[in-house]
A and B are shown apart, each in its own frame.
Chain A
Amino acid sequence: MAERLRIYRELVRAQVRGQASYRLSFTLDLLGNLLFFGSDLLAVLVVFRQVPALGGFTLRETLVVFGLAATGFALSDLFVGNIERMKTYVRTGLLDAVLIRPLGVLGQLLALDVGVRRIGRVVYSVLLLVVALRAADVPLTPVRVLMLVLTPLCGAVFFGAFFIATSTVAFWWVESGELSSSLTYGGRDFTAYPMPVYGTWLRRLFGFTLGFGFVAYYPSLVVLGRADPLGGPAWLSWTGPAVAALAAAAAWLIWRTGVRHYRSTGS
C-alpha cells in the first residue's frame, strides 16, 4: 500500500512539474480558471441587475446557493475533473497502456493529469461562499455550520460521480465530443440557481431524478432558514449524503462495466 502511494505521488509530482514548465501558459491557465469562475459569478450578478428576485430568491440568497454548488464542483474538478479527457485517452491508446500496468486504472488516470491549475477555483468558491453568507446575514448555529461543511463535501462526491460515470461514454462511443460534459456541466449550471427558477419537468428530471437538487438547493434552505417554496418536506435538506453515496455507488458500477466492456479502438 505504501509502495503504491509512493508511485501515485511520483506520478502526480511529474505532472505538476510538467505543467509548471510551460510557465506563461500555466499562469494563463490559472488566470483562465479564475476567469471561468468569475464569469459564472458575473452572469448571476448581471442577471440580477434586471430583477430584484428570481424564483422568489434575492441575489444574496441565490449567491449562497451558488457558492455551495460552486465549492462542491470545484473540489470534484480538482480531484477527478481530468477524467473528462477520457475520450482522448481512449483514442490515443493511453488507456491501453494504463490497463497493462499493475495499478488501479481509475487511480492512474486521475494521477496522470491532476488539475493543480484548478486549485484557484476551490479558493475562489470558498471565498464567495463566506462573503455570500455574511451578505445574507446568516447567523451561524451548530446545525448550519454542520450543513455548510457537509454540503460541499457531498457535492464534491456527487459531481465526482457524474464526472466518472459520464466519462465512460467514451468506452462505447469515442467521438462523443462534449456529450459527457453536458450532464456534469449542465448539472452544475442547474445547481447555480434556486430550483423554483426552472419549469416543473426540468426540476423533476435534473433536480430529483438525477439528484442535482440535493447538491445545493435543498441544503441551502437550512442555511438560509427558509421553507421550500415548492412545498417539499424539511427532511429533504438532509438527504445530501445519501444521494451522494447513491451516486458514487452508481458511478462505480458504471465504471466497472465500462472497463470490462472496453475493447480498445482496434487500430
Chain B
Amino acid sequence: MGFITATADRLTIRNFTEMASLIRTLGASGFRRFATYRQATVAATVTNSVFGLLRTYVMLAVSAAATAVGATAAGYTGPQLVLYVWAGQGLIGVVMLWGWTDLADRVRSGDVVIDLLRPVDPVFAFLAADFGRAAYAMLTRFAVPMVTGALIFDMYLPHRPATYPLFLVSVVLATVVCFACRFLANATCYWLLDYRGVGMAWAVFSGLCGGLFFPIRFLPDWAAALLWFGTPGPSLLQAPLDVLTERDGWPVQLGMLGVQAAWAVLLLWLCRVVQRRAERKLVVQGG
C-alpha cells in the first residue's frame, strides 16, 4: 500500500462474477465463524424453545377462547398460531434480531479503522458475512425449534407449494432489513460511543413491532398499517411468518415481499449515507 488515508480506495468490481465470488468468500467466512460457536448455538436454541413453549400455550388459549365465542384469533387457526410461534422463535436467530454488536464494538475499540483500510465497502462486507451467518442459522437455529414445535404440538404446514420459495425469499429480505437496522443502530456508536441504550431501544422495537411478542394482526387495522408502511418492524419477522402460515392468498404474500424489498433498499441506502458521514467524522477527529 503506497499511502494510508482514513479510507482506502475501494476495490473496483468489474463484473458480476467478481462480485459474486467476493460475496461467496465473505459469506463463507460468516458461515464458518458462526459454525465454530457450537455451544452458543445450542444454548440459544434451547432458549428459543423454552419461549416457544410458553408463547404457544398463550396463543392456543387465545385461539380456544376466540373459538368458544365463535370467532378466530385475527384470522389464524390454532395450528397456524403454533407454526407462527415456533417459526418466529427460529427466525430470531436467522435474521439475528438481537446480540449483534460487531460494529459498535469495533468503533469503541478503534478496530473499525482497519475495516476502513480494507478495499471493500464496510456495509457490503458486513452484509455478505451476515448472509453466511444467516445460512448457518437457518440450518440450526431455525430447524431445531421447528422440529421441536412440530413434535409437541399440532402444527400447520403450508399447503401451497409456492409458499416455500416465497418464504425463503421473504427470509432473505428480512435478513437484509434486519441487518440494515442493526447496522444503523450500531453506527450510532460513532457518535455516542456507548451502545447499551440504543441497543435496548432496538430490542424493544424489534420484538414489539416485528411481530414476535404478538402477531401484528392482533392490533387494530390502522395501527397495523402504520407499522407496516411507517416502520421496518413487520418486515423483520411478521412478513416471513405471515407468508409461511398462509394467513392470506398469494397476492397479499407478494405484497408483503414488496414492502420488505422497499424497506431493504431504503435502509441499505441509509446505511451507506450514515457510514460515509461517520468516516468523514473519523477523519476530522484525526483517526
A-side residues, CB < 8 A to B, are: 22, 24-29, 31-33, 35-36, 39-40, 42-43, 46-47, 49-55, 173, 175-179, 181-183, 186, 189-190, 193, 197-199, 202
Q: Which residues of A contact B218 (CB under 8 A)?
A: 46-47, 49-50
Would you call the interface of chain B mostly helix, strand, loop, or mixed?
A: helix
CB interface residues, B 193-226, toward A, < 8 Å: 193-198, 200-201, 203-204, 207-208, 213-214, 218-220
B282: Cβ under 8 A from any A Cβ: no
Q: Bound state CA distance, A39 and B208, in angstroms?
A: 7
Chain B min CB distance to A229 (Å): 13
Q: Bound state CA distance, A28 and B198, in angstroms?
A: 7
- Given A24-B197, A182-B47, 6 new contacts (CB under 8 A): A29-B200, A31-B201, A35-B200, A54-B62, A179-B44, A179-B47
Interface size of B by CB at 8 A reads 40
Q: Bound state CA distance, A199 and B60, in angstroms?
A: 10
User: Can you sample 12 A-B contacts with CB below 8 Å?
Assistant: A27-B197, A39-B204, A50-B66, A51-B69, A51-B73, A53-B65, A55-B61, A177-B43, A181-B47, A197-B58, A198-B57, A199-B57
Chain A min CB distance to B104 (Å): 11
CB interface residues, B 204-258, toward A, < 8 Å: 204, 207-208, 213-214, 218-220
Q: Bound state CA distance, A32 and B220, in angstroms?
A: 24
Q: Which residues of B contact A190 (CB under 8 A)?
A: 54
- Establish whether residues B51 and A189, one from each chain, have CB atoms under 8 Å apart when the complex forms: yes
0/1 per residue, B169-207, Cβ < 8 Å to A?
Answer: 000000000000000000000001111111011011001
Find B214's partner among A43, A177, A179, A199 (CB 8 Å cutoff). A43
Find B65's partner among A22, A42, A52 (CB 8 Å cutoff). A52
B37: Cβ under 8 A from any A Cβ: yes
B50: Cβ under 8 A from any A Cβ: yes
- Establish whether residues B69 and A52, one from each chain, have CB atoms under 8 Å apart when the complex forms: yes
Q: Bound state CA distance, A178 and B93, in angstroms?
A: 12
B74: Cβ under 8 A from any A Cβ: yes
How many A-B residue contacts, CB cutoff 8 Å? 124
Q: Bound state CA distance, A179 and B66, in angstroms?
A: 34
Given contacts A47-B62, A182-B46, contact A22 B207 (CB under 8 A): no
The 10 closest A-B pairs by CB, nearest first: A28-B197, A32-B200, A179-B43, A177-B43, A182-B47, A51-B65, A25-B197, A25-B194, A175-B39, A29-B197
CB interface residues, B 22-76, toward A, < 8 Å: 37, 39-40, 43-44, 46-47, 50-51, 53-55, 57-58, 61-62, 65-66, 69, 71, 73-74
Q: Which residues of B contact A36 (CB under 8 A)?
A: 200, 203-204
Q: Which residues of B contact A178 (CB under 8 A)?
A: 43-44, 47
Closest to B60 in A: A199
- Establish whether residues A173 and B39, one from each chain, have CB atoms under 8 Å apart when the complex forms: yes
Closest to A34 in B: B204
Q: Which residues of A contact B192 (CB under 8 A)?
A: 22, 24-25
Q: Which residues of B contact A33 (CB under 8 A)?
A: 200
Chain B min CB distance to A165 (Å): 16
- Establish whether residues A46 and B201, one from each chain, have CB atoms under 8 Å apart when the complex forms: no
Chain A min CB distance to B72 (Å): 9
- Establish whether residues A177 and B47, one from each chain, have CB atoms under 8 Å apart when the complex forms: yes
Q: With a 10 A CB-CB cut-off, give which of A29, A39, A47, A186 has the most chain B CB atoms.
A: A47
Q: Which residues of A contact B220 (CB under 8 A)?
A: 49
Chain B min CB distance to A185 (Å): 8
Chain B min CB distance to A35 (Å): 4
Q: Bound state CA distance, A26 and B57, in angstroms?
A: 36
Chain B min CB distance to A63 (Å): 15
Chain B min CB distance to A187 (Å): 9
Closest to B200 in A: A32
CB interface residues, B 121-138, toward A, < 8 Å: none
Q: Which residues of A contact B219 (CB under 8 A)?
A: 46, 49
Q: Which residues of A contact B58 (CB under 8 A)?
A: 47, 54, 193, 197
Q: Which residues of B contact A39 (CB under 8 A)?
A: 204, 207-208, 213
Chain B min CB distance to A180 (Å): 8
Closest to A27 in B: B197
Q: Bound state CA distance, A53 and B37, in angstroms?
A: 43
